[in-house]
Amino acid sequence: MNPKPVQLLAVALLAARRAGEHVMANLGRRDDALRVERADVKHKLDVEAQEAATAVLRAAWPGHAVLGEETADAPLPDAEVRWVVDPIDGTVNFFHGLPWWCCCVAAQINGRTVAGAVCAPELGLTFEASSDSPALCNGRPLRVSQTDDTRLATIHSGAYKGEPGSQSFRFMQRMAEIAQRPRVMGSAALDICMVASGKADAYFEPGIYLWDIAAAGLVLERAGGTLEVLREFGGWRMAALATNGKLHAACKDALAPLFDRGPA
Ligand code: IPD
Ligand code: CA
């Protein structure tokens, strides 16, 4: 029998916190990157924080599958529970010294997220939710905003790092047109947690990975919001829209038609 969602959440929190503690203990190594690329940074602490989180998960349930950003190409064993780990979401922010990054751990059963923890230790914020327990930040309940007009909404986004060009900016332009203000903060998981907290109204990204959004997506849903995968591209990559619910149809109507336009 599978563990209960609240049991999975307790271990998700432990693993996300352990990853965060490892990074915090190594803040002096911010420039210790494995590779600094044109549109990305691969950091040694990404790898180490994933190992720290995975050790917690394996100690609790050795038979579960673990999909981690740093080892995403490795084959996954068949298991009833799949853990999804983003050791540092916002690696470029972290590398440049911004505190806006987090460690994410989600548990999925049959592809559905049932527990999620997002720990942002430099901000002092821990978000959590399970399918049997509420969305919380530092123990306090979360609720999405009531904004129902995109012209009064902040919409967060990011540029897909594989294509920081015209395709991404076509979506950015549309968001800027419909929103009160667009925002590009550099961590998809924190963007979605901000929507869950009522501090942002929507988030959309045309190319984002499962590990960026799995844990935060459940926090959002349990806070009354809506996460929808608008396109799946394979290799764990997808287009995702996360809103307070009231803005969902308007954002989708504005953004979804842009997928069908040819190259810009
Ligand atoms: C990235 C961040 C960023 C988003 C990128 C992601 P990483 O994750 O979430 O906000 O725009 O698409 O890949 O690389 O920092 O784990
Ligand atoms: Ca990420």
Q: What are phi and psi of 30, to 5 degrees?
A: -55, -30
- Could you give the angle at the alpha carbon of 42 between the alpha carbons of 40 and 46, nearest 5°? 130
The secondary structure of 227-248, three-state, reads EEEEEEEECCEEEEEEECCCCH
Asked if residue 263 has pLDDT above 70, the reply is no
Whether the pLDDT of residue 58 is over 80: the answer is: yes
Is this prediction's pTM over 0.85? yes
Indicate if the pLDDT at residue 167 is higher than 90: no
Q: Which atom of ligand 1 is nearest to the CA of 185?
A: 10
**Per residue in 111-166, pLDDT tens?**
999 999 999 999 999 999 999 999 999 999 999 999 999 999 999 999 766 665 66
- For ligand 1, atom 11, the nearest C-alpha belongs to 158
Domain 150-261: which CATH number of 3.20.20.30, 3.90.1150.10, 3.40.50.150, 3.40.190.80:
3.40.190.80
Residue 264 pLDDT > 60: no
> CATH number of 5-141: 3.50.50.60, 3.40.1440.10, 3.30.540.10, 2.60.120.330?
3.30.540.10
Structure tokens at 220: 């959002």
Q: Rounded distance, CA 255 to CA 247, Å?
A: 12
Task: Say what the pLDDT of residue 76 is.
Answer: 93
**Residue 144: partners with Cβ closer than 8 Å, 6 or more residues away:** 195, 196, 198, 220, 223, 224, 225, 244, 245
Q: How many CB atoms lie within 10 A of CB 148?
A: 13
Q: How far is the CA of 1 from the centre of ligand 2 (A)?
A: 31
- Report the C-alpha gap between 137 and 141 in whole angstroms: 7
Domains 5-141 and 150-261 share a fold: no
pLDDT tens-place string over residues 75-107 = 998 899 999 999 999 999 999 999 999 999 999
Ligand 1 nearest atom to the CA of residue 212, by list position: 9
Average pLDDT, the chain: 94
State in Å: Cα 146 to ligand 2 middle: 28
Atom of ligand 1 nearest to the CA of 186: 10
